[in-house]
Structure 1
Amino acid sequence: MKYSKLFSKGKIGNLELKNRIVMPAMGTSLATSTGEASDEIIKYYEERAKGGCGLIITEITRVDNETGIGTPNQLCATDLKHIPRLEKLARTIHRYDSKIFLQLHHPGRQTHEKMLNGKKLVAPSAIMSSAVLEMPRELSTEEVEGLVKKFVISANIAKTSDIDGVEIHAAHGYLIGEFLSPLTNLREDKYGGSFEKRMRFLTEIVVGIKNTCGAKFPICVRIDGDEFVPGGFTLDEAVKASVHLENLGVDAINVSAGTYESVNAIIEPISYPQGWKRHLSQAIKDKIKIPVIACDVIRKPDFAESLLEEGNLDFVALGRQLLADPEWGKKAVEGREKEIRPCISCLHCIENVMGCKTTKCAVNARTGRELEYPAFEKNGQNRVVAIIGGGPSGMEAARILAIKGFKPILFEKGNTLGGSVNLASKPPLKDKLTWFIDNLIYQIKQLNIDIRLNTAPSIDDLKLLNPYAVFLATGSSPIVPKIPGIEKNDVYTIVDVLNRSTSIKGENIVVVGSGMTGLETAELLVSQGKKVTIIEMQDKIGPGMYLPNLIDITTRLKKYNVGMIPSMKLVSIDKGSITIENTADKTVVNKVADAIVLSLGVKPNNSMVTELENNFSIVKVLGDSLIPGRIADAIQTAFEKSYVLE
């Protein structure tokens, strides 16, 4: 077998797992409003079990309904009423010879009062998180003792429900992690002070579960290998804690990293490579004998296999990769690696969950909607569907339509597929976008789809095909405002820069607009030795961007000494300079600029819509051609409109 380590059996305690693939806990908000395992969440986990996971660890599961609410529709194990649906969940996963753990969780200070029906957040000590900005109150000793009992009760509910084991969430700055960290635990009672006292809360939970559920009921503990917060829980303490937990009888350690204050260490943006924190799991594995599970931006089977061969870990936690493709394991074992749709680390999934919505995936429109979109109905009858535009939405539509039995014909005016994502992949550290486009191209070629490059069909050309439907996926074009000097030779759009159709002369470059594309284009320019300043008309850099992505890119830009100036509007362009106006006080400033790069958004390329609708009965507009957006929008519109076509 090509991946002999990955698909070898393994053990956590006495529990045998069919392979080394673990789906770690990720929030979904797919449970019912009363915390029971809904049909939606059961189907969601079933898809991952069916796709080849050896062990599934559920999303954060609530142990306390008063102060422990992490998300509105959160899986719960707080009441006996939760047992029947948890039992159904376990039974469903077991059909595929997979195992399932319930992750027991309390958010501590990393939630919001609005989640707790106005109650104050709780924590080991009254120290506010700079990410949450709500002051918690310190738990009393009696309250901490009561929470120990609640964790034990939840573990008992899991065992009664035929769940195979539990994972205690002691990482990511949540309540147990707050007790472990010297930064957030300043208590003077038996739960604070020395390392042993900071470990006491977790120790009592482990001992309580062992005493109640029996020594053979598996317990995994998820800890931070490093919080990456000054003064916080470090790798040295993580190693020490892991040894202590092994001595208590814990059956596995799941190594992660980060808190909300170092959020990009928990759920990494696109710039983070596979294996960037492998030193954390290695340090812990070197000191303990029980199995180590670790997540580390693992995307490809060969990389997962290499970590197992090196002895870096015992079980591979895939995380977001299993949102992008639940069949990762099945495809890997069958030698179909090129079919695996890669996670692009765009953070669309967590952005939705943190916004109190259900989980979604930018590159897999079925994620979290598996019940809504079951197996594809083969109703195409070989009818022709013309698709104009070979970007992500056009290729996704072609893929779905071909699977459904239609005959898609994909037109692309350029000489390559990929559309605007090809441009988006050009800045530094964007290789995952290239993986994504390569995967889409591979899939549609495997389906033998008729692809016509260097072709922009006219209405007459389309009529010759007698199509059943026409899909328009022609993307968007950069917005160029009408201001004095805009026509000058030293003014470029981000398309000019990213497709390298022109060589920008001069040293001092001003990028106008600080959306993600503008910031990434600035990074490309500084990597080429340019001196770059970014101006933004809004009062903040990166308006509308998801904060972790913004932190990631601006942190790197600051290292390059890129100037980032908000509240500045471009007024006019002259040779060698620009005039900008402060949007607050209307003061005008001249700034040296050898060249100007415009990143002011895009407008839909939909000029054909009316003519298409006048000539064809079924016309669907996809992606940026409909409303300019992100990859998630392109994939979702393409998937949905292809799925419902009859």
Structure 2
Amino acid sequence: MNYEKLFSKGQIGKMQLKNRVVMPAMGTALAGSNGEASPDIIKYYEERAKGGCGLIITEITRVCDEYGVGVANQLSATAPRHVASLQKLARTLHKYDTKVFVQLHHPGRETSSRLLGGKQIVAPSAVMCKVTQEMPRELSTEEVEGLVKKFVTSAKIAQLAGIDGVELHAAHGYLINQFLSPYTNKRTDKYGGHFANRMRFISEIMVGIRHICGPDFPVSVRISANEFVEGGITLDEGVKIARYLESIGVDALNVSAGIYESSATIIEPMSYPQGWKKHLAEAVKKAVNIPVIAVNVIREPSFAEGLLESGSVDFVGIGRGLLADPNWANKAKEGKDKQIRRCISCVSCFEELSTGGVLKCAVNPKMGRELEFENLPKNGDDKVVAIVGAGPAGLEAARVLKLRGFNPVIFEKENELGGALQIAKKPHLKEKIQWLIDYYQEQIKVLDIEVRYGIDATVENIKELNPYAVFVAAGARPIVPQVPGVESKNVFAAEDVLKGKVSAKGEKIAVIGSGMTGCEAAELLAMGGNEVAIIEMQKEIAGNVYKLNRYDIMSRLTKHKVEMLPCKKLLQITDQGVALMDTFTSATSLKQADKVILALGVQPNNELIPSLEEEFERVYVMGDVSKPARIGDATRQGFEKASIL
């Protein structure tokens, strides 16, 4: 397909862009400990520039070292010492005709005192964020005036470094957004109250940047056009803010949504479809004459082209899509859509970041480690490597091995690729996982990798290959607890529910275990017209599920009236149901159930490993067969093992 709009030139202020692909800001924690643009973060951005991106907006970039820390190892523009490394970043990206903006950021109340050395967090008003759950101190008028100067100083530092422009982060509930919103701004001084006063903080920042950096230095503002919280910015208010920002000389608007308390509208889980919030950008676009950039859960070039053709936006923000595949733009331009490794919206990237780590991607194990794996040696010399299992670990290993010049041969006992992915895609609204299977199917085809379907790997048939190495990615099987009645005809595995092997309507069903698999099986059964209860030993249902995914699945389970029974240990399964013990009181009870569904996790299929290790010199174990893992763990292990062979 010829993406004429996507690859047409664009304009922001007096700056011309080679195409309409914008990489919006995403925190990485890849910067140096002093806030400098480290070799790691420069290489990370360089891969996206090399991949064809027209404009890259850096991660949240610190403007205040005292109260403005968003993440550890955060890019900073607070002092002259940051000019040199930002200059290197700009020079590197400019080699590919890619423009770069620095996103200026202060978290306000959406941070932690832990990141501030124990100091109390600050905000326009003493309104606590329900997510961070720390009460902020209200900034004094003088402190606000000082912060205006810090934003302006950071813009000048960026300009001195040869950065093409700046973006003010006035979205997602961060400091500027807190001033804009009646939900968080309860001030009674010149920075609070009526609309004009709530706009004063960003207005003064804009005036300062124009005065210090000149009229031709582009400034974009990222806004949440709808905060999706009661008492916050609605779309009507968001459009009013957009018009105001245009009137004070902003060159472009980057439209997003949400704050931490509505975070699923910022970093959407898998259930959210492409373009679900395009109406926000469309409303802003109709109201202003300056360019509109917008994120819209865009995963496919055809969808991006459609947004541009319809006039919904002027530039498409491809965020997580560029984490998953830095070559997204080039592949689209070259008509290689099928080779794009599409983001599956699993949100593991932000789970990693929110738990204090660096940004990672479940489907792209090289993300954030571009420098570490810059030049994989091509020294395979066509040596055969046997791979047991065509799940994500085995497939990623095969892909990397082939690129390195090895000759991988995959043994897969089923008649299709994907392994556990074939189960993972079955639950309601999990269809995007098929995209990862599609990607590997295309890689198998393009790289001409041999797959032997319907064959159980044995020592004997592997020996026939005389392999240089053996990679074992044989997956796992469901755990069956040793309790009385577990062999009864009314007991099934959650996998069987997801595969459609269990039929039930109008029945009472007990699901044992509240991991993601148990919750998803419960949802399917509830949607099928059954009375479903989830039984969990721990004190919290879905307690080990990342908060964004947990909120998403729990809201749907509540909608389907699924009963939640935490702190209950399974003692026995009978024809009448399940005997349970309360883990606090030790009281026993019987929960009536026509069917019992087991969702207690998986155990490795590792029976073959000892005999393989006895027979072959190089045996590598990865994925669920090593220990139960998630998609990101599996692809990372496959990538790493294949890169060091």
What TM-score range do you get, normalising by the shorter chain? over 0.9
> Which residue is 1:624 aligned to?
624
1:453-532 paired onto structure 2 within 5 Å? 453-504=453-504, 507-532=507-532
1:338-353 paired onto structure 2 within 5 Å? 338-353=338-353
Alignment: residue pair count:
645
Q: Give the whole-Å Cα distance in 2 for the aligned partners of 1:483 and 1:271.
A: 35
> Which residue is 1:141 aligned to?
141
C-alpha deviation, 1:504, in angstroms: 4.3
- How has the CA–CA distance of structure 1 residues 144 and 481 changed in structure 2, closer, same or farther, with 3 Å as cutoff? same
Letter in 2 for 1:387: I
Q: Give the whole-Å Cα distance in 1 for the aligned partners of 2:308 and 2:528.
A: 38
C-alpha deviation, 1:605, in angstroms: 0.7
Contact 2:505 2:530 in 1 (8 A): no
1:54-453 paired onto structure 2 within 5 Å? 54-453=54-453
Q: Which runs of 5+ in 1 are unaligned?
A: none
C-alpha deviation, 1:530, in angstroms: 1.9
Contact 1:223 1:255 in 2 (8 A): yes
Q: Give the whole-Å Cα distance in 2 for the aligned partners of 1:356 and 1:392.
A: 26
> Which residue is 1:642 aligned to?
642
Q: Give the whole-Å Cα distance in 2 for the aligned partners of 1:283 and 1:338.
A: 32
Q: Give the whole-Å Cα distance in 1 for the aligned partners of 2:545 and 2:354.
A: 14
Q: Give the whole-Å Cα distance in 1 for the aligned partners of 2:616 and 2:264.
A: 48
Letter in 1 for 2:50: K
Contact 1:505 1:595 in 2 (8 A): no
Q: Give the whole-Å Cα distance in 1 for the aligned partners of 2:386 and 2:408.
A: 6
Contact 1:505 1:594 in 2 (8 A): no
Q: Give the whole-Å Cα distance in 2 for the aligned partners of 1:223 and 1:343.
A: 23
Contact 1:506 1:595 in 2 (8 A): no
Contact 1:112 1:134 in 2 (8 A): yes
C-alpha deviation, 1:74, in angstroms: 0.4
Letter in 1 for 2:643: Y
C-alpha deviation, 1:149, in angstroms: 0.3
| 1:475-525 alpha-carbon deviations (Å, 9 max, x no partner) | 001100110100001100112112223434761111110011111111111
Letter in 1 for 2:221: V
Letter in 2 for 1:532: V
Contact 1:340 1:439 in 2 (8 A): yes
Determine helix, strand or coil for the equivalent of 1:629. coil
Q: Give the whole-Å Cα distance in 1 for the aligned partners of 2:336 and 2:48.
A: 17
Contact 1:219 1:252 in 2 (8 A): yes
> Which residue is 1:590 aligned to?
590
Contact 2:24 2:319 in 1 (8 A): yes
Contact 1:19 1:53 in 2 (8 A): yes
Letter in 1 for 2:165: G
Name the Cα RMSD after superposition: 0.9
Letter in 2 for 1:30: L
| 1:100-151 alpha-carbon deviations (Å, 9 max, x no partner) | 0000000000000010111111001111111111110100000000000000
Structure 1 residue runs of 4 or more that deviate by more than 4 Å after TM superposition: none
> Which residue is 2:614 aligned to?
614
Contact 1:68 1:107 in 2 (8 A): yes
Contact 1:395 1:441 in 2 (8 A): no
Letter in 1 for 2:314: D
Q: Give the whole-Å Cα distance in 1 for the aligned partners of 2:144 and 2:125.
A: 12
Q: Give the whole-Å Cα distance in 2 for the aligned partners of 1:129 and 1:543.
A: 21
Q: Give the whole-Å Cα distance in 1 for the aligned partners of 2:20 and 2:313.
A: 10
TM-score by length of 2: 0.99
C-alpha deviation, 1:457, in angstroms: 2.3
| 1:279-336 alpha-carbon deviations (Å, 9 max, x no partner) | 1000000010100000010000000000000000000001011000000000000000
Determine helix, strand or coil for the equivalent of 2:641. helix
Q: Give the whole-Å Cα distance in 2 for the aligned partners of 1:378 and 1:143.
A: 57
Letter in 2 for 1:361: C
Q: Give the whole-Å Cα distance in 2 for the aligned partners of 1:632 and 1:530.
A: 33
Q: Give the whole-Å Cα distance in 2 for the aligned partners of 1:502 and 1:168.
A: 53
C-alpha deviation, 1:533, in angstroms: 0.8
Q: Give the whole-Å Cα distance in 2 for the aligned partners of 1:394 and 1:494.
A: 24
Contact 1:104 1:167 in 2 (8 A): yes
C-alpha deviation, 1:53, in angstroms: 0.4
- Does residue 534 in structure 1 map to residue 534 in structure 2? yes
Letter in 2 for 1:232: G
C-alpha deviation, 1:375, in angstroms: 2.9
Q: Give the whole-Å Cα distance in 2 for the aligned partners of 1:462 and 1:102.
A: 53
Contact 1:389 1:472 in 2 (8 A): yes
C-alpha deviation, 1:578, in angstroms: 1.1
Q: Give the whole-Å Cα distance in 1 for the aligned partners of 2:439 and 2:465.
A: 28
| 1:592-634 alpha-carbon deviations (Å, 9 max, x no partner) | 1010110001111111111000000000011000011100010
Structure 1 window deviating more from structure 2 (335-344 vs 491-500): it is: 491-500
Q: Which runs of 5+ in 2 are unaligned?
A: none
Q: Give the whole-Å Cα distance in 2 for the aligned partners of 1:256 and 1:14.
A: 24
Q: Give the whole-Å Cα distance in 1 for the aligned partners of 2:577 and 2:246.
A: 65
Contact 1:576 1:595 in 2 (8 A): no
Determine helix, strand or coil for the equivalent of 1:115. helix
Letter in 2 for 1:263: S
> Which residue is 1:51 aligned to?
51
Contact 1:281 1:294 in 2 (8 A): yes
Determine helix, strand or coil for the equivalent of 2:534. strand
Contact 1:483 1:572 in 2 (8 A): yes
C-alpha deviation, 1:564, in angstroms: 1.3
Q: Give the whole-Å Cα distance in 2 for the aligned partners of 1:573 and 1:252.
A: 62
Determine helix, strand or coil for the equivalent of 2:26. coil
Q: Give the whole-Å Cα distance in 2 for the aligned partners of 1:556 and 1:577.
A: 25
